[in-house]
Each structure stands twice: as C-alpha cells, then as structure tokens.
C-alpha cells in the first residue's frame, strides 16, 4: 500500500471514529433527555407499556404523556430523563383518533370491556343522516365525563366508585371537536376519524353519537394516531423494539426532546444571551412574538429549553435542559 493510500485510509478511519463518537454523544444525550414514541398494543395498560419500554431502553426515569385505555392502541409518547419536564405540555396538546363505534349496544364502561346494559334496534342510517349527525358534534361542545374515568371525586378516582356501584354527579366540561370524518359504516359498525382537544372522552362521544342516532352505542376499538405534532410514523411497538439486539441500537429509536414541541416557534440565542438565560434571567431580543411559548436554542443549535414571552416583552426561561 502506497503512502497516499495509507494516508487516505487513516483519514477514513478518523472520520469513522468521529462519526461513532458523535452518534454515541447523541444517544447519550437522548438517554438523559429524549422522546420515545410507543405504538401501544390493545392488550396492556399504559403504565405496563411504559415499564416495558423503560427496561428495553435501559432508562431509569421516564413517563408517558396521557394514558390510553387498555382497550386502545396507538401513539403513547414517553418522555425520558429531563424531558419529563415537558410532559405537561404534551398533555395539553390536541389529539386524533380512529374509532369504531358499535351501534345498538350500550355498555357499562362505554367500551367493549364493559357489561352490556342495553340493546336497541339500529334504524336505517343513510350516509346523509350520518354526516349530519356527526357535523352536529363539531365545534365547542359540553361533555360529561364518564364514571369509568381517572378523574377524582372527593379524593377517589371515579372508576373506583363506579366499580362499587356508586354513581356521582359530574359537571359538564367544554371541549372542542375540530373534525369528524366518516370512514365507513357497515353491519352496525361506524368508523370515524376524530380530531379533538385535550380532555375529550371518545367513549362519551361514541355514546352521545349513538344516542342521537336513536340506538345507543359503545367504542368497539380505538386507536390514537396523533398527539400535537407527533404521529405514528416514527413510533415503535414493544415487539419491534425488543427485536433490536442492543440497547445502543434501541436508543436510535429515541427522538430528541424538542421533537415533542416541533409545532412551536423557536429562537436562537447569541452566546451572551444564552449565558443569561441559563442563569434564569429574562432577555430582550428583536423580532420576538408578542406572546406565547418558544423553543430556545444556543448559537450552535443545541436545545436549551423553553421560554415564554413575559409581560414586558422579554423572553423568560421556564424549563431549562442545560447544566
């Protein structure tokens, strides 16, 4: 091998080592503050799915951002390490679901897991009538939370009271249905694509739609497809994750923490401004929006955290990831 060939090979080796180091650093950062998108299967609770994902990824601290019923499948974002500081923001995001409603049958829980409490004949339902009915639920509506929910009443979960046969009055809450699309109707099964605000109970929506159609109904299957700007395209099932042979390789399935806020505006700071932000001080800079939340990045595009425009127009740090 000539001197030039040796030199070229050496450069390639150095380049490869640098890429490995950069990848290792990125994966190490994601272990400290990352986002894993789990595609939950409909055979386990959200907490059980979370614990299995933690073991497979080899992380100690993690939390999901909004439970899915055991019956439901789909997107369950999991915040890792310091990214748990942002979990409340995902809880407040809008959601999107694919739901299948079984008309003519009402259950105790509003889904297929509950005991049947009533059966009614399903009338003839032309597509025009179905679309008119669905359109009446679009917009801001009041919704009474179901008894089988995790909401609390005098310190107790509603589902705990429901299992004891206790029914308590629940206040209606204002929610928003952005869109309901009819995907299909066959053999008393209504398939819908629903985009909604936080706090929406799809089981209650299914019951209300069934009642308005004059026959009742319950959720036969439910799949969450979106949370805010996140969707199933980058999600992994536990089975897929387990099939990856090493923890290091599995960590490549973890996204950077700021991905969960990808629909937020962002701002890049100079080194001087980053110095003050990292010490908890608000800063002024030109062309800031008048209000709202922002993702904050350093001069070298490192995610620093999130901030909010204060009353005086300055950018105030709220959750920081440095140090």
Neighbour tally for 156: CB within 10 Å: 13
Q: Is 120 left (phi over 0), alpha (psi -120 to 50) or beta?
A: beta
Set 39, 43, 69, 187: catalytic member: 69
Point out which residues pair with 179 in neighbouring strands.
195
Query: Could you give the CA distance from residue 199 to residue 79 in angstroms, rounded to a whole number?
Result: 20
Is 69 designated active site? yes
Query: Could you give the CA distance from residue 113 to residue 213 in angstroms, rounded to a whole number?
Result: 22
Give Cβ neighbours of residue 43 (< 8 Å, ≥ 6 apart). Answer: 70
Alpha carbon 298 to chain centroid distance? Answer: 27
Query: Could you give the CA distance from residue 144 to residue 151 in angstroms, rounded to a whole number?
Result: 12
Point out which residues pair with 105 in neighbouring strands.
119
Question: Which three-class secondary structure state does DSSP give residue 12?
Answer: helix
Greatest Cα pair distance in the chain: 86
Residue 70 in contact with residue 113, Cβ under 8 Å? Answer: yes
Residue 112 in contact with residue 221, Cβ under 8 Å? Answer: yes
Give Cβ neighbours of residue 105 (< 8 Å, ≥ 6 apart). Answer: 116, 118, 119, 216, 217, 218
Residue 297 in contact with residue 304, Cβ under 8 Å? Answer: yes
User: Catalytic residues, which ones?
Assistant: 69
């Amino acid at each position: 091998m000539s001197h030039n060939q040796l030199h070229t090979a050496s450069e390639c080796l150095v380049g490869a080592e640098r890429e490995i180091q950069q990848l290792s650093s990125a994966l190490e950062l994601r272990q400290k503050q990352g986002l894993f998108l789990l595609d939950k299967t409909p055979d386990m609770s959200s907490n059980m799915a979370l614990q299995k994902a933690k073991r497979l990824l080899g992380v100690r601290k993690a939390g999901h951002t909004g439970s899915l019923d055991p019956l439901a499948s789909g997107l369950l974002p999991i915040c890792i390490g310091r990214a748990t500081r942002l979990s409340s923001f995902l809880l407040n995001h809008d959601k999107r679901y694919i739901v299948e409603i079984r008309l003519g049958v009402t259950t105790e829980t509003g889904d297929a897991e509950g005991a049947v409490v009533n059966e009614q004949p399903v009338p003839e339902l032309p597509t025009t009538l179905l679309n008119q009915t669905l359109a009446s639920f679009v917009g801001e509506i009041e919704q009474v939370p179901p008894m089988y929910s995790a909401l609390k009443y005098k310190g107790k979960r509603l589902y705990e009271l429901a299992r004891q046969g206790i029914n308590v009055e629940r206040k209606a809450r204002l929610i928003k249905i952005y869109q309901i699309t009819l995907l299909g109707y066959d053999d008393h099964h209504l398939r819908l694509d629903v985009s909604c605000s936080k706090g929406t109970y799809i089981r209650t929506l299914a019951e209300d739609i069934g009642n308005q159609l004059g026959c009742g109904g319950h959720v036969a299957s439910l799949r969450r497809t979106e949370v805010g700007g996140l969707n199933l395209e980058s999600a992994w099932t536990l089975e897929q994750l387990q099939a990856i042979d090493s923890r290091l390789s599995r960590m490549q399935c973890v996204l950077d923490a700021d991905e969960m806020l990808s629909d937020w505006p962002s701002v890049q700071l100079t080194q001087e401004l980053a110095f003050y932000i990292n010490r908890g001080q608000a800063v002024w800079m030109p062309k800031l929006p008048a209000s709202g939340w922002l993702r904050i990045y350093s001069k070298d595009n490192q995610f620093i955290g999130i901030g909010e425009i204060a009353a005086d127009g300055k950018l105030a740090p709220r959750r920081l990831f440095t140090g």
